[in-house]
Amino acid sequence: MKYLKQSLKVLCLLALASSAFAQTHEVLMKNRGSAGPMVYEPDYLEIQPGDTVKFIRKHKSHNAASIAELSPADYPGFMGKIDEEIEVTYDNPGFYGIKCSPHYAQGMVMMIKVGDTTLPDSYRAFKAPGIADKRFQEIYARIDKQ
């Protein structure tokens, strides 16, 4: 019984320690930024499992939503409401594509890398609508240079 109590204490401390090191990263949803119109800034993040991304509305009529084709197969996804600031915690390693639903074809997209992982080939094969595809290709080129 003594060992069980000690083991439980250690597990609780480890759980507290891991959540204490988790970070929150901010992403701005903007009408215009350094990359042009309809952007997330930054448009690429590298985070660790357990970290949270907070999507902050800087201008009206934006949201953040996951892209099923650019997310791990077992990821349930999310869709923020228009003008909603939303926080999303990423627990599992992988790449996660994000879009602004009303401005997807206008290129309002970003990519989040969680943990130590490799970009799946299927992501490169996926064709996003309009300018979004060009912006994803630019993000992939930056990932390749790392």
pLDDT tens for each residue of 83-109: 999 999 999 999 999 999 999 999 999
Position 69 pLDDT exceeds 60? yes
Residues facing 40 on adjacent strands: 29
- The tokens for 48 are 């660790």
pLDDT at 9: 60
> How many CB atoms lie under 10 A from the CB of residue 62?
26
Fold of the 22-144 domain: Immunoglobulin-like (2.60.40)
Structural domain spans, the chain: 22-144
- The tokens for 111 are 């990519």
Confirm or deny that 110 is annotated as ligand binding.
no
Confirm or deny that 25 is annotated as ligand binding.
no
Confidence of residue 21 (pLDDT cuts 50, 70, 90): confident
Q: What is the mean pLDDT of residues 50-78?
A: 98
Q: What is the mean pLDDT of residues 38-59?
A: 98
Q: What is the mean pLDDT of residues 23-32?
A: 98
Confirm or deny that 108 is annotated as ligand binding.
yes
Confirm or deny that 100 is annotated as ligand binding.
yes
Closest CA relative to residue 76, chosen from 62, 55, 94: 94
